[in-house]
Chain A
């Protein structure tokens, strides 16, 4: 089946550091990828839609300058958390779909801990 790889799986860093998370579709091309954030014991919150070759679309309340998204190829999207602070600590997950009316497949997530 379709596989989405996310890297790294866990990051611990100091406040003020910028952190880049990669999301790759391994066996299909994805013009659109999605980035989610999950708080403890809550559902997945969509942060932004990553569009290959164009700007990402951010959900209301998500700071585009804080969460930079780049979708440079049909198999790779990156999320950069800029100047991360402890409140940015969370579980970030990406997803991609081979096409419309096909299921989104999720990466294994990245646990980000900012000290």
Chain B
């Protein structure tokens, strides 16, 4: 059963504009959420995280928003750059899971000039 869902398999955005990636989860026990970026044939690279006690975390061009009541989080990238073209994974963990992450299926982002 997929506990973390990324319903948009792909997203195309123009350079300089905002990229918004969405993620939904079903397990109310999740209390730590992360976004990773992945290029083909490489391991995921950590981008930004948020704990359930917050509703927003910002790091440079990346901002993650958490809506616990809706069990929804999103990643905003602004401004988008060509180097941002990659697959983005949303992940979540619960307190009793030994740090085990549940991943979404990923969203392929393509930033066009």
Chain A interfacial positions (CB closer than 8 Å to B):
1, 4, 6, 32, 34, 42-44, 46, 49, 91, 93, 95, 97, 100-101, 103-109, 111
> B82 contacts the other chain (Cβ, under 8 Å)?
no
* With contact pairs A44-B89, A103-B34, A103-B49 given, residues A109 and B99 touching in the complex (Cβ less than 8 Å): no
Looking at the complex, which one of A6, A42, A43, A49 makes contact with B43 (CB distance below 8 Å)?
A: A6
Chain B interfacial positions (CB closer than 8 Å to A):
32, 34, 36, 41-46, 49, 51, 89, 98-101, 103-106
Provide the residues of chain A in CB contact with B36, threshold 8 Å. 106
Provide the residues of chain A in CB contact with B44, threshold 8 Å. 44, 93, 106
**In the complex, the 6 A-B pairs of residues with the closest C-beta atoms, listed nearest first:** A106-B43, A103-B46, A43-B105, A109-B43, A106-B44, A108-B43
Q: How far is the CB of B109 from chain A (nearest CB, A)?
A: 15
The number of residue pairs between A and B whose CB atoms lie closer than 8 Å in the complex comes to 50
Provide the residues of chain B in CB contact with A107, threshold 8 Å. 43
Looking at the complex, which one of B41, B100, B105 makes contact with A46 (CB distance below 8 Å)?
A: B100
Q: How far is the CB of A102 from chain B (nearest CB, A)?
A: 8
> Could you tell me the distance between the alpha carbons of A110 and B57 in the complex, rounded to whole angstroms?
32
User: In the complex, which residue of chain A has the Cβ closest to the Cβ of B108?
Assistant: A41
